[in-house]
């Protein structure tokens, strides 16, 4: 397969400088991983990770090198030339025996020219296609139809060629899963079309309704344990230009497209902020957050944390810098806060990765009965969408979203006005005795928000 387009080639395709692509890469958090298949595709869409690069400082420097390369318009070979001596000096080069957090030893290939080329190409593809996704979403009002374009030559994968020319509406769920890149060195792209262009070219607008399903695929084998890692990937049933039935699915590790990245958070934030407190806008955001693709992104966000602990990776920094929106405040909550002199930023609630695996999270444990289990974290977006009780804390000037009475305990989501990025901050999530909630209401600490 040919290499990924260089930044100069991508600028020619998209007709703009790579600032948006750089912003896409910069907004990613970090994920410390042992194997590439330890992180689900949806988590890859949100985090910058290099398998067996278990130093957060190394990850940060590697990403900085990519950004500098994009900004300067350099080639993949420039990237290899610039990074090799630095990685050699840091000791992250060649084959070495390395030990994981559980004491298991493994002979692993660390840095090498081929591996640096793969790191460059994969991140260049994702960053520039992420920028393309954002531009297409911004133009959806005038160009609501998206067309899949494949480069047709001897190197094109047959499954990618079969999608060439297909048109779906921008809001068809199919784009949550097939937006390029769909494999290593994928050269496919997407273009936006107006209603007039679709009619003039006599293009058929298709729908994925009833044609998308989830399939389980093997991603790889953990050499230390023999465990076969699997992933759920969307598969599209369609027909090619000759009417022949086809089944298309992204390669393992590439099914987490821009719709599962922080880009969607930005788009949802813009929508909610533009119509702050309006029920219709907030409900539209809520529906997206509970969609299949988005719930996969949330599941990956949670599972990444638990997988890190299972592999013995350090809690601090394992998912550093990641933020994900998971819920929406009610219009009456936003209005109530305003009456108290607190102007919410958007009404979109977000959580930082450190809350699941940082020092704050370690204050609460499952053994003590006040921490959320894996299953309870996975269910958080749905529970946040239907709280049983909403309280205003008069002393701390924030909201408590309460649900799930069981064994004398209730789960409490503490949400306060966001500090900078426009998303309302989730200060903590844990379980508290029901009597504590009741006592706070009785003594006036908490006010019930109808």
Going through 240-298 in order, the beta strands assigned E by DSSP cover: 245-248
Contact between residue 54 and residue 32 where contact means Cβ atoms under 8 Å apart: yes
Return phi, psi of residue 162, to 5°: -65, -25
Structure confidence by residue, pLDDT tens digits, 320-353: 557 888 999 999 999 999 999 999 989 999 988 7
Supply the pLDDT for residue 353: 76
Supply the pLDDT for residue 43: 52
Task: Read off the DSSP letter of residue 4.
Answer: P
Contact between residue 328 and residue 349 where contact means Cβ atoms under 8 Å apart: yes
Which stretches in the chain have pLDDT values below 50? 1-17, 37, 41-42, 309-319
Supply the pLDDT for residue 33: 62
- Give Rg (Cα) of the chain: 23
Supply the pLDDT for residue 417: 93
Contact between residue 346 and residue 286 where contact means Cβ atoms under 8 Å apart: no
Cis peptide preceding 181, ω within 30 of 0 = yes
Supply the pLDDT for residue 426: 92
Global pTM reads 0.68
CA distances from 30 to 57, 91, 94, 98, 197 (A): 10, 20, 23, 21, 41
Contact between residue 428 and residue 396 where contact means Cβ atoms under 8 Å apart: no
Supply the pLDDT for residue 365: 58
Q: Helices (H) and strands (E) in the chain — how many of each? A: 18, 18
Contact between residue 228 and residue 221 where contact means Cβ atoms under 8 Å apart: yes
């Amino acid at each position: 397969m040919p290499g990924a387009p260089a930044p100069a080639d991508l600028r020619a395709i998209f007709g703009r400088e790579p600032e948006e692509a750089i912003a896409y890469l910069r907004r990613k958090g970090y994920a410390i991983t042992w194997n590439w298949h330890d992180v689900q595709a949806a988590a890859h869409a949100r985090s910058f990770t290099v398998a067996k690069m278990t130093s957060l400082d190394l990850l940060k420097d590697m990403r900085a090198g990519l950004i500098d390369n994009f900004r300067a318009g350099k080639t993949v070979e420039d990237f290899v030339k610039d990074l090799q001596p630095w990685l050699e000096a840091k000791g992250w080069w060649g084959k070495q025996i390395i030990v994981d957090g559980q004491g298991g030893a493994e002979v692993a290939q660390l840095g090498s020219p081929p591996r640096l080329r793969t790191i460059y190409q994969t991140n260049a593809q994702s960053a520039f296609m992420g920028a393309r996704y954002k531009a297409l979403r911004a133009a959806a009002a005038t160009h609501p139809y998206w067309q899949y374009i494949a480069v047709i030559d001897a190197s094109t994968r047959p499954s990618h060629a079969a999608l060439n020319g297909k048109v779906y509406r921008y809001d068809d769920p199919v784009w949550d899963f097939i937006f390029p890149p769909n494999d290593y060195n994928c050269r496919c792209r997407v273009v936006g079309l107006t209603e007039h262009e679709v009619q003039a070219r006599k293009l058929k607008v298709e729908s994925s309704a009833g044609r998308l399903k989830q399939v389980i695929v093997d991603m790889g084998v953990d050499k230390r344990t023999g465990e076969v890692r699997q992933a759920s990937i969307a598969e599209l049933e369609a027909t090619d230009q000759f009417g022949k039935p086809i089944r298309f699915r992204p390669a393992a590790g590439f099914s987490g497209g821009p719709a599962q990245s922080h880009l969607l958070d930005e788009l949802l934030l813009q929508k909610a902020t533009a119509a702050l407190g309006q029920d219709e806008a907030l409900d539209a955001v809520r529906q997206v957050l509970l969609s299949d693709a988005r719930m996969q992104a949330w599941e990956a966000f949670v599972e990444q944390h638990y997988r890190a602990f299972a592999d013995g990776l350090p809690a601090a920094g394992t998912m550093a810098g990641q933020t994900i929106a998971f819920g929406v405040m009610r219009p009456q909550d936003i209005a109530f806060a305003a009456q108290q002199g607190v102007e919410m930023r958007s009404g979109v609630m977000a959580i930082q990765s450190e809350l699941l695996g940082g020092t704050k999270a370690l204050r609460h444990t499952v053994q003590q009965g006040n921490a959320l289990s894996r299953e309870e974290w996975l269910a958080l977006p749905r529970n946040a969408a239907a709280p049983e009780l909403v309280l205003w804390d008069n002393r701390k000037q924030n909201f408590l979203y309460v649900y799930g009475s069981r064994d004398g305990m209730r789960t409490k989501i503490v949400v306060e006005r966001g500090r900078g990025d426009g998303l309302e901050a989730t200060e903590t999530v844990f379980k508290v005795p029901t009597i504590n909630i009741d006592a706070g209401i009785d003594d006036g600490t908490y006010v019930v928000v109808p």
